[in-house]
Structures are given as C-alpha cells and as structure tokens.
C-alpha cells in the first residue's frame, strides 16, 4: 500500500523522534546501546604574535557541547603552524597558551578545513608569563633547611624534627608525604590570600601555614607530617610564599622541542568536583589490544566507584563497587576534617555515608577484558582460614587483619565478583604466566600475595586461588628457606649493632625475644608500595620507600610458600624514595625515585656478589643499579629537582612510537609524562598545559588498531590528585582522563 504525503511526513517525524530517543538512551547509565561516534573534523592554521610566528606553543580547543567536557591540545611547529585532528562535531572555544605568552582571547568556531590565524599575546612582565608555569618551577623557589641544620634536635633545639637525619631526608618527606597527595607549587599552594580572606584573625604567613596544614579531609595527615619534620618547616614554607607574593618568579621553562611538538592530547571530564580519582586503565598490560576501542576505566577511591569513560561517544558514567559486608560495617580510612576545609567546611567528603567505603585503589584489565581492582569488601579482621594451619600459606605466614581485598567487574555480564585475600591489597599487576596470576603488594606489611585467576575461574573458590609469601632471606647460605628463622626485631637489632642507619629497628616494630642467630634464615619486614612480576622467570619485584629506598626480590620457586626466597637491594646514593616499579621484556626493573627525581634501573644479571649468605641490609649488587636524573629546576640551594614522580611505566610494546621498552616517569609536579631514552640519556617531556594541575599517578597504553599508525594507539593517564579543586578553575572543576598520541609531525591529520 502506498503512503500519502501526510503519512510520509508523520513517518519521518516519528523516525526522527525515535532516533533522537535512541541517541539519548545511549548516553545514559545502563542505556540499551551506544550512540554512534560523531563525525570528526579539523581546525588548522597558524599562530602569530607581534613578534611573528610562535613555535612550540599550544593550541587548545574545548567544548561543553558533548556529553562530557572535551579538550584537544596540539603544539605548533617551527613556523607556528598547527592542526587539531579528530574533532567531534561541536562548537569549540579555541585559544593559545605558551611560555612567554599570556593566554589569547578565545575564539568560537566549528571544525573547518579553512586555515585560521590565531593571535598570540606576548607577556609584558615576568609575572604575567609565569602564570602558566608548572608547579615544579614554582616549587624550585623553596629553600629547604640547610644541610648544617641536620640531624634535627627537636623543639628544644633547632626545631627540626629529631627523626630528620639529613636534608635529603627532609626533602624525601616533603615529596613523599606532601607531593604524595597533590602538586606543590600550583597556584593554591604557593599563595595564602584565600587563607587571609577566610581567617582574618591570621596575621602572619607562618601562622597561615600552620592553620592550612591542619585543615580539611587530609588535615590529620598534613599536621602529622609537620610534627615529624618539626616546626622549622613552617619557616621554609612561609619564606617561599612571602617571596612569591613580593613578585619573585621562577626561571622560564623551555618550550616543547622536536618530537614533543608532535604530541596530541585529548581530555575528557570524569567524576565530580570532589572525586579522589586514583589510577586509570584501558587494556591488559601483557596484551595491549584487549578492549580495543573500548572504555577507559578509573577508580574513585573517595567515593568507592568505578568510573567509565567511552572515548567513542564522549560519555562517562560511574558505578558503586559493592562490599560483601553491609556498608555500615566497613570502616573507612578517611577521617573527618581535623579543622574545617577552606573549601568544603566540615563536610566529610570521602568513604563515609553517603559515600561508598569500598576504597578502590588501582584497576587493571585481564585478558578477558574484566576490570580487576583492589577494594575493601569487609571489616578489617580476617576470616579464620587466613590463620588456620590447614591452609599451607597460613601455616607459614598466618594473617590476622587486612585493610583492602580484591574485586573484579565483567563488562559482558555487568556483574561484580568479590575476593577475600587475607593480606591487604594496594597495587595489582598481572603476570604473563599460563594461569594469568595477579599479584598484590601490602602497603603496610611484608607480604606479596596473589590470586591464581585460572583456579578461581574454574572453582570460584577464593581459598584455593589465593596465596601469599612473607619476606625471608637465606642468611645462613644453605640455598633454601627453613624454619625457625630470625624474627624481624632480631634482624633490626643486628643491623643497628653493625652500624645500619636505615631505621630498620623502628620499621620492624621492636626488639624480638630471641637474639639474632647467623645459623638461621631471617625474616625481614619491608612494607611495599608496589609490585611487578617478571616476564622472564618466577620472580616478583616489590619496592619499599623505607629511606633511602629498596627493591625486594621474591622468587616463588616451585612449591610456595616453602620455596619463597627473598633478596633485598638498597637504592644507591644520590637516589632516594622509590615509589613506582615496572619491568621491561628482558627483566630489567625500573623504579621512579620520587624524592631525588631519578629514574633508576636495576639489572639483576649484573650482580656479582650474591654467593653465600644473603644480606638483609640491601648492600649487595651496587653494580646492578643505574640512575638517570630528570631535568628541570632544582629546589633552592640543593641538587635535587623540584619535580615529583608518583609512578613509572615501561612501554614494552612501543605503543607511544618512540621505541620498545622505553621507561616513562610521571612528572606529577610538572604536568608531564617523562620519557627516557637510556642509550642517549635524553628526556622527552609530554606536557599537559591545560588545565594546569595534571597530576598523574600512573599510566597505561592501548593499541586499538595495529595497522592505523599513530591513530590506532595511545597512552592514557588521569588527573589523580587528591584535591581536584587544586586544578586550574578551582572548586567545581572535575577530574579528567588524558589520551596521549605522537603523530609523525605536527600537521599530521
């Protein structure tokens, strides 16, 4: 039957309405299908100032027309030319930012093939230019207490904490205890005006700093750091902000050069304006084509959520991570504000009702595309099987309490699975073994634990799949680990007797009942910040921040836990404070030294002094280490750069396109990722200039299409600061996922 004209019109209208409804459903949580990807366009042209073409400056296009706030950034070439590729159809605000400039006035436009000219504005004063300098440049103006003021003698002496043994130890505290949560040197931390406005009774910068360090959701922790460092630190902090308030500025950072100008960054908003977003993941580390073209996942630790961002549809959603026990019975590690926050008052932002206490920390994908994360599923007391001698792991290493366990989400079934682990979990990493074992570290304990995912998938029995080993060194030199062994307290006393100054006794928790016996093996107790399994053998590496820092090597052997054997290697001078750890395909371990701002490699194959009894102080195999210090400004009066490296990652599969096995450190205080070429000792800095405050805790790389060149591969990271209101834009700003791509030249489309 033929349709009349009216019927055709009504049919077309109905079809359009249905299509619009389907598109709307696709961007909603739980929508039946995804919206099709929008067509892509370009914006191209040249940047010129009164001085001529501007090379090595950023062209930034952002829009709020898409389901989530979207930003694309490129760098101009040596003639000031630029090309913004792969822009979804939308209205964009486009402007120029660069060192030596002030931000240009944004222009409003849609993607077009017609070239445009953007007018850059040259800064007229050093203070104007410095507004867009990254945090490490501003922090470099801070002057730590002089070397002559150490060791500290406390409030009755020089006001430096008695636990502070050296200037480097103080710098280590500044970075690992303060930079650990957020940038230092961003606008909020280098100024005090907002404190004086809200607390008019405060008259001096010393008092303003004392008040600041006790405020908000992390006030208890910050004030604890101050007590450890001693009140002398207030003088350094106040002098720093006073000089900046009077107009002092840092040196000018260099503009992007060479391959740095080929960088394309894409940013999407995720979470809300007080999400504490930790890490992000896009694929399986060992199989980087898993989840090709799929979502990127991040965890919101403070809100107990898995956050999902789809780069095809520019949409983002979030889901609560479940707990096994009722939420009311699951304790949170986030206390109420010590003093009211300058931004949120007495609001209890994280981990307590109405927020979920599951406290996820680190997500990773397995080969099936399931998202695994460390998360809290119950109260802290372990179940009985964790200390039952019938369990072989509990027989060797009985466990009583754990603060976080494990979970995974299957995007295919949209279901969560919770796994009790007995040990506390923190970071997780998958091995490349046949059983796809996933390893975990204990942040505040000496355990390396694992889940055999093949066994778990076959049995759904966590007790059969979960295992763990403590840290026992073959100090009697018989080639195996036997019981009984020297307890950590006895080992610590022995080290102190030998003149060790690493603080082992305090870390071990006190004196053991029995003295150290050289005829026995010895348990040690290095809390591990992260772990990485080796792709070439049965070894798992962990990294300990105990000053100055250690690598811990645990070989499971063929009958764990009885065959688990540990070795420990101390970070050499001038390095200190390892945090991240990764490994290349040859088994060389890389760790970012957050305190001293090095990337350090350790090659076990170079060790020459491992025969005989093992050592517990880490003094063997100094020849295995190589240190590469990052570039950038240094803290005033020191040889230590002001940058901070929360973590590091090795590009095993050449995803970035600069070469396989290149190590990358997060420049968490410099808005950057830092790529090292160990052969040339050259650094490539991939900077995120907008919004200021890019603070990455980790990174990840995925190959969407191996045949698509630079368009088919990318690295992913996120703004992982505790305090998203520190990001440029202030309160109301949201966290972001960042995509990094290197094209062959600055004009490639």
pLDDT average, residue stretch 242-255: 98
pLDDT in the model for residue 3: 38
Percent of the chain at pLDDT > 90 equals 89
pLDDT of 166 over the 70 cut: yes
For residue 94, which of 37, 38, 47 has the smallest C-alpha distance? Answer: 47
pLDDT average, residue stretch 689-708: 97
pLDDT average, residue stretch 203-225: 95
pLDDT digits (tens, 9 = 90+) for 262-305: 999 999 999 999 999 999 999 999 999 999 999 999 999 999 99
In a domain, 707, yes or no: no
Least confidently predicted of 309-313, 503-507, 635-639: 503-507
pLDDT in the model for residue 39: 65
For residue 375, which of 386, 361, 365, 364 has the smallest C-alpha distance? Answer: 361
In a domain, 81, yes or no: yes
pLDDT of 399 over the 60 cut: yes
Q: What average pLDDT does the chain have? A: 92
pLDDT in the model for residue 5: 36
pLDDT of 739 over the 60 cut: yes
pLDDT average, residue stretch 701-728: 97
pLDDT of 342 over the 50 cut: yes
Q: In total, how many domains does the chain have?
A: 1
More confident residue, 4 or 221: 221
In a domain, 48, yes or no: yes
**Other beta carbons less than 10 A from residue 30's beta carbon:** 8
pLDDT digits (tens, 9 = 90+) for 366-396: 999 999 999 999 999 999 999 999 999 999 9
For residue 604, which of 508, 537, 683 has the smallest C-alpha distance? Answer: 537
pLDDT of 498 over the 50 cut: no
In a domain, 84, yes or no: yes
User: What CATH number does residue 84 fall under?
Assistant: 2.60.40.1120
pLDDT in the model for residue 75: 98
**Other beta carbons less than 10 A from residue 108's beta carbon:** 9
Main-chain dihedrals φ then ψ at residue 176, nearest 5 degrees = -75, -20
Domain membership of residue 81 as a residue range = 40-131
pLDDT in the model for residue 36: 47
pLDDT digits (tens, 9 = 90+) for 439-493: 999 998 899 999 999 999 999 999 999 999 999 999 999 999 999 999 998 776 5
pLDDT in the model for residue 513: 58
Task: Give me the sheet containing 700-703, strands edge to edge.
Answer: 107-109, 92-97, 58-63, 70-75, 263-270, 735-742, 713-718, 700-703
In a domain, 586, yes or no: no
pLDDT digits (tens, 9 = 90+) for 89-116: 999 999 999 999 999 999 999 999 999 9
In a domain, 272, yes or no: no
pLDDT of 503 over the 80 cut: no
What's the CA gap between 734 and 693, in Å, rounded? Answer: 12
In a domain, 55, yes or no: yes
In a domain, 114, yes or no: yes
Long-range pairs of 33-38 with CB within 8 A, sequence gap ≥ 24 = 34/310, 34/312, 34/313, 34/315, 35/313, 35/315, 36/313, 37/88, 37/312, 37/313, 38/66, 38/88, 38/89, 38/90, 38/314
pLDDT digits (tens, 9 = 90+) for 535-582: 999 999 999 999 999 999 999 999 999 999 999 999 999 999 999 999
What's the CA gap between 618 and 610, in Å, rounded? Answer: 11
């Amino acid at each position: 039957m033929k349709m009349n004209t009216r019927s055709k019109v009504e049919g077309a209208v109905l079809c359009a309405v249905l299509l619009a409804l389907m598109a709307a459903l696709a961007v909603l949580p739980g929508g039946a299908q995804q919206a099709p990807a929008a067509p892509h366009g370009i914006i191209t042209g040249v940047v010129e100032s009164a001085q001529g073409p501007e090379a090595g400056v950023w062209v930034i296009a952002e829009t709020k027309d898409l389901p989530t706030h979207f930003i694309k950034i490129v760098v101009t070439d040596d003639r000031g030319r630029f090309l913004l590729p792969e822009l979804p159809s939308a209205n964009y605000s486009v402007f120029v930012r660069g060192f030596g400039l002030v931000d240009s006035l944004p222009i409003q436009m849609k993607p077009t093939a017609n070239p445009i000219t953007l007018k850059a504005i040259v800064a007229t004063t050093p203070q104007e230019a410095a507004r867009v300098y990254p945090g490490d440049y501003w922090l470099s103006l801070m002057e730590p207490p002089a070397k002559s003021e150490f060791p500290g003698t406390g409030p009755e002496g020089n006001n430096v904490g008695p636990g502070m043994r050296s200037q480097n130890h103080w710098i280590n505290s500044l970075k690992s205890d303060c930079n650990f949560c957020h940038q230092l040197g961003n606008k909020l931390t280098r100024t005090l005006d907002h404190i004086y406005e809200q607390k008019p009774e405060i008259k001096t910068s010393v008092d303003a700093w004392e008040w600041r360090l006790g405020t908000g959701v992390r006030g208890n922790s910050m004030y604890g750091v101050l007590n450890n460092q001693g009140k002398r630190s207030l003088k350094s902090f106040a002098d720093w902000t006073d000089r900046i308030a009077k107009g002092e500025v840092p040196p000018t950072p260099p503009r992007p050069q060479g391959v740095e100008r080929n960088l394309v960054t894409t940013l999407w908003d995720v979470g809300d304006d007080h999400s504490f977003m930790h890490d992000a993941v896009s694929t399986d580390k060992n199989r980087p084509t898993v989840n090709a073209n799929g979502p990127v996942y991040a965890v919101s630790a403070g809100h107990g959520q898995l956050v999902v961002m789809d780069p095809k549809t520019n949409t983002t959603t979030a889901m609560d991570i479940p707990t096994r026990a009722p939420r009311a019975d699951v304790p949170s590690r986030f206390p109420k504000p010590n003093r009211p926050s300058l931004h949120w008052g007495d609001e209890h932002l994280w981990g307590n009702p109405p927020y979920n206490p599951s406290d996820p920390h680190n997500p990773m994908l397995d080969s099936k595309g399931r998202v695994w994360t460390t998360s809290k599923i119950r109260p802290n007391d372990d179940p009985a099987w964790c200390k039952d001698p019938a369990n072989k792991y509990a027989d060797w290493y009985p466990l009583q309490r754990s603060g976080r366990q494990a979970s995974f989400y299957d995007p295919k079934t949209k279901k969560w699975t919770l796994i009790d682990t007995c040990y506390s979990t923190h970071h997780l990493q998958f091995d490349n073994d046949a059983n796809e074992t996933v390893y975990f570290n204990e942040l505040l304990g000496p355990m390396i634990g694992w889940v055999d995912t093949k066994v778990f998938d076959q049995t759904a029995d966590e007790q059969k799949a979960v295992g763990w080993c403590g840290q026992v060194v073959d100090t009697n030199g018989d080639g195996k680990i036997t019981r009984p062994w020297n307890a950590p307290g006895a080992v610590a006393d022995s080290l102190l007797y030998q003149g060790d100054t690493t603080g082992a006794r305090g870390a071990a928790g006190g004196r053991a009942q029995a003295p150290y016996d050289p005829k026995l093996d010895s348990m040690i107790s290095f809390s591990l910040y992260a772990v990485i399994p080796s792709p070439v053998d049965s070894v798992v590496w962990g990294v300990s921040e105990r000053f100055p820092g250690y690598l811990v090597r645990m070989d499971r052997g063929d009958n764990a836990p009885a065959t688990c054997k540990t070795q420990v290697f101390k970070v050499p001078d001038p390095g200190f404070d390892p945090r991240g750890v990764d490994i290349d395909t040859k088994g060389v371990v890389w760790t970012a030294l957050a305190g001293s701002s090095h990337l350090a490699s350790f090659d076990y194959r170079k060790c020459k002094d491992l025969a005989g009894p093992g050592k517990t102080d880490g003094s063997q195999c100094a020849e295995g280490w190589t240190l590469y210090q990052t570039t950038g400004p240094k803290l005033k009066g020191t040889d230590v750069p002001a940058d901070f490296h929360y973590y590091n990652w090795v590009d095993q599969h050449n995803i970035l396109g600069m070469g396989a096995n290149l190590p990358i450190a997060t420049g968490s205080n410099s808005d950057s990722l830092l790529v090292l070429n160990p052969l040339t000792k050259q650094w490539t800095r991939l900077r995120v200039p907008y919004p200021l405050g890019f603070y990455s805790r980790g990174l990840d790389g995925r190959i969407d299409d191996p045949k698509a060149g630079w368009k088919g591969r990318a690295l992913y990271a996120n703004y992982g600061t505790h305090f998203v209101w520190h990001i440029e834009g202030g309160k109301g700003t949201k966290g972001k996922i960042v995509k990094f791509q290197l094209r062959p030249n600055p004009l490639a489309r």
